[in-house]
Amino acid sequence: MTGKLPRDTDRERARSFWNARAAAFPRWSETGSAYGRGVLDSVRRMGVDFRGKSVLDVGAGSGRYTLEVAREAGRVVAIDVSDEMLRLSAQDAARLGVGNVEYAVSAWEDYPEGEAFDFVLCMMSPAARDDRSRERLFSHAREAVVLTGFSRYSPPPALAEILARRGREPARFRNGPEMREFLDRTSRRYEWELREGVWSVAYTRGSFARIIADHLDDYGIEPEPGEIEAFADALAPPGGGEFVAEIPYAVEIIVARAG
């Protein structure tokens, strides 16, 4: 298939892609959410106070930020194109006794206009990918828009090599710098911080193969038989079992004032 996919098909592909990734996606946990808490500490230092406030979480995913913010906020609405991501988030909310989160399965461009929230979050989400979708964040915000996005993107292990074999390069995600460029053009006040480090991502042979296959499907690429498994075997310890991939990251944290 060539050309741009019809919008409804585009949404279904996005839903299928993120639903397939949901089981391996980071979720909220008391011991495993140090990175997310560090990001929110930076957001608070930039003057954001969630206590008792209303929050719209755009592209909320499996709820790593949703549930952390909900511990302070008065009300949180979490939206995502993936019903499976939101199901996992709601499951964690029930387990934690968090009752102030509402869930809405929706692509960002389909979310109804009109309702205003004190803060709008868009944390590592591709939802705000152009000027129109970025402007929509501000149309719902009374106090500020909080966004995190890649400054530099490191693809999952093996993906770049498999793409290179076909003369392709990984997509470049620069949603941090692109957001700042938008804010500068629209003369909005903001603060930002660059956070760099290494994510340690745990895989099994099967989960690694599924993640890479999902990414390749998004590129419209069918892997050769055994191609992905060969990479998984090279990374996994002898006899199989879980292995950890170290993925460098450079993430921008941006707080932009509404108005």
Quick one: which of 199, 207, 202, 149 has its CA closest to 178? 149
Q: Is 63's pLDDT higher than 60?
A: yes
Higher pLDDT, 207 or 253: 253
Q: Give burial (CB, 10 Å; 0-12/13-18/19+) of 227.
A: middle
Mean pLDDT of the chain: 89
The DSSP result for 200-214, as a single string, is EEEE-HHHHHHHHHH
Q: Is 37's pLDDT higher than 80?
A: yes
The DSSP result for 242-257, as a single string, is -EEEEEEEEEEEEEEE
For the stretch 136-170, pLDDT in tens is 999 999 999 999 999 988 888 889 999 999 999 98
Q: How far is CA 75 from the centre of its chain?
A: 21
- Quick one: what percent of the chain has pLDDT higher than 90? 63
The pLDDT score that the predictor gives to residue 96 is 92
Quick one: which of 58, 62, 75 has its CA closest to 145? 58
The pLDDT score that the predictor gives to residue 7 is 45
For the stretch 196-206, pLDDT in tens is 999 888 888 88
Q: Is domain 7-154+167-198+248-257 given the CATH code 3.40.50.150 in the classification?
A: yes
For the stretch 77-109, pLDDT in tens is 999 999 999 999 999 999 999 999 999 999 999
The pLDDT score that the predictor gives to residue 203 is 84
Contact (Cβ atoms closer than 8 angstroms) between residue 175 and residue 129: yes
- Quick one: what percent of the chain has pLDDT higher than 70? 95
Sheet arrangement for strand 54-58: 101-105, 75-80, 54-58, 117-123, 141-152, 243-257, 190-203
Q: How far is CA 106 from the centre of its chain?
A: 15
The angle subtended at Cα 192 by Cα 191 and Cα 194, nearest 5°, is 165
Lowest mean pLDDT among 16-30, 36-50, 156-170, 207-221: 16-30
Q: How far apart are CA 183 and CA 193, in angstroms?
A: 15
